[in-house]
Amino acid sequence: MSRVVREVPEFEAEVPLLVVGGGAAGLVAALAAREAGVEALVLERDPVPRGSTALSAGLVPAAGTRWQRAAGIEDSPALFAADILKKAHGEPDAAAVAAVTETVGPVLEWLAGRHGLPFSLIEDFRYPGHSALRMHGLPSRSGEELIDRLRAAAEAAGVDILPEAHVVALFADASDRVAGVEIARPDGSRERIGCGRLILACNGYGGHRDLVRRHVPDLAEGLYFGHPGNQGDAVLWGEALGAATRHLSGHQGHGSVAHPHGILITWAVIMEGGFQVNLEGRRFADETGGYSEAAAPVLAQPEGLAVCVFDARIAGIARQFEDFRRAEAAGAVPQADTPDALAGRLGLPVEAFMATFEAVEACKRRGDTDDFGRSFAGVPPLAPPYHAVRVTGALFHTQGGLVVDGRARVLRPDGSALPNLYAAGGAACGVSGSRASGYLSGNGLLTAVAYGALAGRAEP
Ligand SMILES: Cc1cc2nc3c(=O)[nH]c(=O)nc-3n(C[C@H](O)[C@H](O)[C@H](O)COP(=O)(O)OP(=O)(O)OC[C@H]3O[C@@H](n4cnc5c(N)ncnc54)[C@H](O)[C@@H]3O)c2cc1C
Q: Say what the pLDDT of residue 184 is.
A: 98
Atom of ligand 1 nearest to the CA of 447: 19
Amino acid at 446: L
User: What is the average per-residue pLDDT within 86-107?
Assistant: 98
Segment 271-300 mean pLDDT:
94
Residue located nearest, by CA, to atom 39 of ligand 1: 202
Report the mean per-residue pLDDT for the chain. Answer: 96
Its CATH class, for the domain covering 252-395, is: alpha beta
pLDDT at res. 127: 84
Cα separation, 103 vs 448, in Å, equals 11
Residue nearest to atom 3 of ligand 1 (CA): 56
pLDDT in tens, 311-333: 999 999 999 888 999 999 999 99
* Alpha-carbon span 92 to 374, nearest angstrom: 26
Q: Are 58 and 138 in contact (CB under 8 A)?
A: yes
Measured from the CA of 26, which atom of ligand 1 is nearest? 25
Q: SS3 letters for the chain?
A: CCEEECCCCCCCEEEEEEEECCCHHHHHHHHHHHHCCCCEEEECCCCCCCHHHHHCCCCEECCCCHHHHHCCCCCCHHHHHHHHHHHCCCCCCHHHHHHHHHHHHHHHHHHHHHHCCCCEECCCCCCCCCCCCCEEECCCCCHHHHHHHHHHHHHHCCCEEECCCEEEEEEECCCCCEEEEEEECCCCCEEEEEEEEEEECCCCCCCCHHHHHHHCHHHCCCEECCCCCCCCHHHHHHHHCCCCEECCCCEEEEEEEECCCCEECCCHHHHCCCEEECCCCCCCCCHHHCHHHHHHHHHCCHHHEEEEEEEHHHHHHHCCCHHHHHHHHCCCCCEECCHHHHHHHHCCCHHHHHHHHHHHHHHHHHCCECCCCCECCCCCCCCCCEEEEEEEEEEEEECCEECECCCCEEECCCCCEEEEEEECHHHECCCCCCCHHHCCCCHHHHHHHHHHHHHHHCCC
Taking residues 133-159, report their average pLDDT: 96
Domain ranges of the chain: 3-250+399-457, 252-395
Using a CB cutoff of 8 Å and minimum separation of 24, what contacts does 212-219 make?
212/395, 212/398, 215/248, 215/249, 215/251, 215/398, 215/400, 216/249, 216/251, 216/395, 216/398, 218/295, 218/296, 218/299, 218/436, 219/251, 219/253, 219/295, 219/296, 219/299, 219/393, 219/394, 219/395
Give the sign of the dihedral formed by CA 235, CA 222, CA 49, CA 290: negative
Q: Considering only CA atoms, which residue is closest to atom 31 of ligand 1?
A: 23
Cβ of residue 49 lying under 6 Å from some atom of ligand 1: yes
Structural Rg of the chain based on CA atoms: 22
Q: How far does the centroid of ligand 1 lie from the alpha carbon of residue 64, in Å?
A: 25
C-alpha of residue 423 to centroid of ligand 1, in Å: 13
Give the distance (Å) from ligand 1 centre to CA of residue 317: 26
Residues 89, 95, 98, 101: is their CA dihedral positive or negative? Answer: negative
- Per the DSSP assignment, residues forming a β-bridge with 60 are 136
pLDDT grade for 370, boundaries at 50, 70 and 90: very high
**Percentage above 70 pLDDT, the chain:** 99
What pLDDT shows up at residue 1? 61
> How do beta strands 305-311 and 178-184 pair?
unpaired
Q: Which ligand 1 atom minimizes the distance to the CA of 25?
A: 25
CA of 440 relative to ligand 1 center, distance in Å: 16
pLDDT at 348: 97
Question: Measured from the CB, is residue 15 less than 6 Å from ligand 1?
Answer: no
56 touches ligand 1 (CB under 6 Å): yes
The answer for residues whose C-beta is within 8 angstroms of residue 415's C-beta and 6 or more apart is none
Residue 51 Cα to ligand 1 midpoint, Å, equals 5
Q: Span 356-384, mean pLDDT?
A: 96
pLDDT surpasses 80 at 459: no
Ligand 1 contact, 29 CB (< 6 A):
no
69 phi and psi, to 5 degrees?
A: -60, -40
Which band of pLDDT confidence, cut at 50, 70 and 90, is reported for residue 125? confident
Choose which residue among 127, 141, 445 to substitute to test ligand 1 binding: the one with the highest number of ligand atoms within 8 A of its C-beta. Answer: 445
Looking at residue 222, its pLDDT comes to 83
Position 225 pLDDT exceeds 80 = yes
CATH annotation of 3-250+399-457 = 3.50.50.60
Percentage of the chain exceeding pLDDT 90:
95
Are 246 and 403 a contacting pair, CB within 8 Å?
A: yes
Ligand 1 contacts CB of residue 200 (under 6 A): no
Identify the pLDDT of residue 221: 83
Q: Report the alpha-carbon distance of residue 347 to residue 358 in Å, rounded.
A: 18
Closest CA to ligand 1's atom 4? 56
The arithmetic mean of pLDDT across residues 64-70, rounded, is: 98
For a mutational test of ligand 1's pocket, the pick from 50, 53, 182, 256, i.e. the residue with the most ligand atoms closer than 8 A to its C-beta, is 53
pLDDT digits (tens, 9 = 90+) for 410-457: 999 999 999 999 999 999 999 999 999 999 999 999 999 999 999 999
Mutate to test the pocket of ligand 1, among 2, 4, 56, 266 (most ligand atoms within 8 A of CB): 56
Is the C-beta atom of 290 inside 6 A of ligand 1? no
Distance of CA 55 from the midpoint of ligand 1 (Å): 8
Pocket test of ligand 1: the residue of 161, 202, 263, 446 to mutate, having most ligand atoms within 8 Å of its CB, is 202
pLDDT of residue 359: 97
Q: Determine whether the shortest distance from the Cβ of 206 to ligand 1 is under 6 A.
A: no
Ligand 1 contacts CB of residue 268 (under 6 A):
no
Q: Are 426 and 84 in contact (CB under 8 A)?
A: no
* 53 Cα–ligand 1 center, Å: 4
Which residues have a Cβ under 8 Å from the Cβ of 223 and sit 6 or more positions away? 257, 262, 392, 393, 394, 395
Using omega within 30 degrees of 0 as the cis cutoff, is the peptide bond preceding 385 cis? Answer: yes
Q: Which of 421, 402, 413 is nearest to 173 (CA)?
A: 421
Assess whether the C-beta atom of 224 lies below 6 angstroms from ligand 1.
Answer: no
Q: Please check the confidence at residue 358 and state whether its pLDDT lies above 90.
A: yes
Q: Which residues pair with 42 in a beta bridge?
A: 19, 161
Q: Over 90: is that where the pLDDT of 458 sits?
A: no
- Ligand 1 atom 10 nearest Cα: 442
Q: Do 394 and 304 form a contact (C-beta atoms < 8 A)?
A: no
